[in-house]
Structure 1
């Protein structure tokens, strides 16, 4: 669908999200029909769940039961501006800003979903350590062939909506740049009263969006991304059968019970060989498994699989690597399951940040150790050591991705989301905080 200016509406909105700012928001609103998005509750604190990351109930599902993930994303990478530890006034300003946008839009994919999370670098300013129930190490390389930069910002705000105008509007409101959002007055307080935006990162997920945004580095010039693919690599990925429930990734005890940990990696893509040299069967073999390629299990983007990628049919990864000379990415993940479900919850999305095809791989898990275990399975070191499969070649999708940045974050429960102390139950933390305030 094109607007009156002859520019594809979806492409324009995506471009506006990537550019950001009040001018891009205004231009986007001027070019399309007025949004009809329901407002949020007057008192989000009592209406919304304590788990910030409890999005699933607010997401629609497709006919197969897979969650529909919001199409437009913004990540605001933030640094705390103050000296020492946060004050009560700063916490109140951050909470007021977050609550303001929640009043403006209903909590849904059609409205707005958001989380705010904090890095180990943020918590290092406190005298008290994080409680033992929280696993939040500094990020590190997790294979011999990667050397990612540490994502050392203090906090990340994740904004998600099916409407680019909504995530842009929420961003501007959090920065104190708009007085009214969706007809709802915004507070004078802003997120930026206590935090500075070091970097904004953007992205998208959903049928057709990658194909509309493939004129970037890392994708062949002839536009090979399937028109209906939800991700650059051409296949469905967020099958309900390949996602754990939110209970599995939630911290169960301690002062941060009800929270979760968030891992965020920036992966650049090199899809020239993927589309220009590899055949369709080779792509299916590497993404799913050789059995699926030989049996024609995957049609198109894989939508025919419903909510189950049928990994039980793929066989043992090492045996497959020995006999076929290739092993599938999803196939390697089968051994890292609990009650036949993965142990990390993926909410990743594609991006054109830096004019490069990339992925912001965002996952939620009870402990960062769960992510490490999953990534080690993806590396397939044991499979490569016991077959002709290389460390990266024919070893799933490893040769097509490069991890350039990785960060670990704590997503606190809602009641602690505004500049939390490192250990809310610690007398030492409380005493140190009062002294610094």
Structure 2
């Protein structure tokens, strides 16, 4: 029996609602449990071996792609051919509790491989990555190999950040994702020693005792999800303005294929960490009160895309008129004229100026969040070098447009609606080196 059939998992009083309504209720129940961590009721739902039913993993995890960030081929695409991101996300900041010796390294490797044996590497099963901070590598006598660009995280480098920004100085960031929230929760439990079987497979090792969990954050993405979850959040108008079809709180689609770097482009090519990538992770609070109440739809399109997009009505209600591209490269040369004559420059329009030979530098995997009952965004960016992230963020800051009176809190893209709250930088090693890596493995 699956947990969908278990009356303990049905949040309705009798368990007798129609199947469609009961399925919707269960999805909402699991979604709430993901956001808060497994409740006692959900723990009961997940207690049995058969309670999580997902496609099985592989007998030999070494047969999987060596890149931890190789998610695109394991993900479905939308009707336009853009990669559709997983719906449920959990992020754990981890602090190392032991010396990173051979025994600890073997335990981490065994625990992670157990997930891959139990669950298919896909959004129907589980995708995950484990990245390491500069602080993790600082404990070693050897320096991080020169092929890796991983400076200490510093939000003041490219943006004048608020004083309450938290910089991640823990050791690692674990990112777990699936289209099934129950799978994410069960994987968490298995990975931290709270269950010994997962999807019919024995789990013989865990990260418990190796890492201490210091901070848990959650996210979600998908058409209709922000509209469903906007009610009662801090920073959202009482009118609940997020369109039903929008996958993000600001009301528009994102992740267009031609606006995303490829996984090849963000992969480190040489050195002992060939096959790795660098990851930037930040949490941003959104001021949707101002975004929706102070501007009409045309003005929001101009700020997010460009004034030209607004004039041509090129976007639609939530981006449905766009397919695999925003076409912002066609209006980058007009950006100074827009700043001077329209008093607005578009967010995407600015970012396009940082491309290299017309190609994006960043692969973004952003998700909405309601952590703390605040409307926000977990901004996840992969790039070969963090210098490339800084280049894009400098373009986003748009300091060149100050000469037209467009400061950070004026009509300079979407900056005035964002409040930075968390910032971190990570090396996401290849799968073969993801278990407590040394800074220079071949030295």
> Aligned match of 2:229 in 209, 213, 236?
213
Q: Secondary structure of the residue that 2:395 maps to in structure 1?
A: helix
On the 8 A contact 1:93/1:193 being kept in 2, the answer is: no
- Give the Å deviation of 1:35: 5.5
- Give the Å deviation of 1:343: 0.2
State how 1:126-145 maps to structure 2 within 5 Å: 126-140=140-154, 141=156, 142-145=158-161
> Aligned match of 1:117 in 126, 131, 155?
131
> Aligned match of 1:241 in 248, 251, 258?
258
- Give the Å deviation of 1:110: 1.0
Structure 2 length-normalised TM: 0.91
Change (3 A) 1:222 1:372: same
Q: Does 2:331 align with 1:342?
A: no
Corresponding residue of 1:199: 215
Q: Distance in 1 between matches of 2:405 and 2:25?
A: 47
- 1:76-111 alpha-carbon deviations (Å, 9 max, x no partner): 1100002xx411111111111111111111000111
Corresponding residue of 1:261: 278
- Give the Å deviation of 1:26: 3.0
Q: Secondary structure of the residue that 1:191 maps to in structure 2?
A: coil
Corresponding residue of 1:60: 76
- Give the Å deviation of 1:8: 3.1
Q: Secondary structure of the residue that 1:305 maps to in structure 2?
A: coil
State how 1:273-284 maps to structure 2 within 5 Å: 273-284=290-301
Corresponding residue of 1:380: 398
Q: Distance in 2 between matches of 1:89 and 1:145?
A: 41
Q: Distance in 2 between matches of 1:10 and 1:97?
A: 28
- Give the Å deviation of 1:3: 5.7
On the 8 A contact 1:268/1:356 being kept in 2, the answer is: yes
- 1:21-52 alpha-carbon deviations (Å, 9 max, x no partner): 3635436659xx9664211011112x201111
Q: Does 2:164 align with 1:150?
A: no
Q: Distance in 2 between matches of 1:38 and 1:233?
A: 34
- 1:162-217 alpha-carbon deviations (Å, 9 max, x no partner): 01001111111000101111111111x21123101001111101111111111211
Q: Secondary structure of the residue that 1:193 maps to in structure 2?
A: coil
Corresponding residue of 2:350: 332
**Structure 2, gaps ≥5 residues long:** 13-21
> Aligned match of 1:414 in 431, 434, 437?
431
Q: Does 2:112 align with 1:98?
A: yes
Q: Distance in 2 between matches of 1:4 and 1:23?
A: 13
Q: Distance in 1 between matches of 2:132 and 2:11?
A: 43
> Aligned match of 2:244 in 209, 224, 227?
227
On the 8 A contact 1:13/1:164 being kept in 2, the answer is: yes
Q: Distance in 2 between matches of 1:8 and 1:243?
A: 35
Change (3 A) 1:195 1:29: closer
Q: Distance in 2 between matches of 1:53 and 1:209?
A: 25
- Give the Å deviation of 1:310: 1.2
**Structure 1, gaps ≥5 residues long:** 427-437
Change (3 A) 1:275 1:26: same
Q: Does 2:404 align with 1:392?
A: no
On the 8 A contact 2:221/2:368 being kept in 1, the answer is: yes
Q: Distance in 2 between matches of 1:268 and 1:129?
A: 35
Q: What's the RMSD between the two structures over aligned residues?
A: 1.9
Q: Secondary structure of the residue that 1:8 maps to in structure 2?
A: helix
Change (3 A) 1:28 1:351: farther
Q: Distance in 1 between matches of 2:331 and 2:115?
A: 46
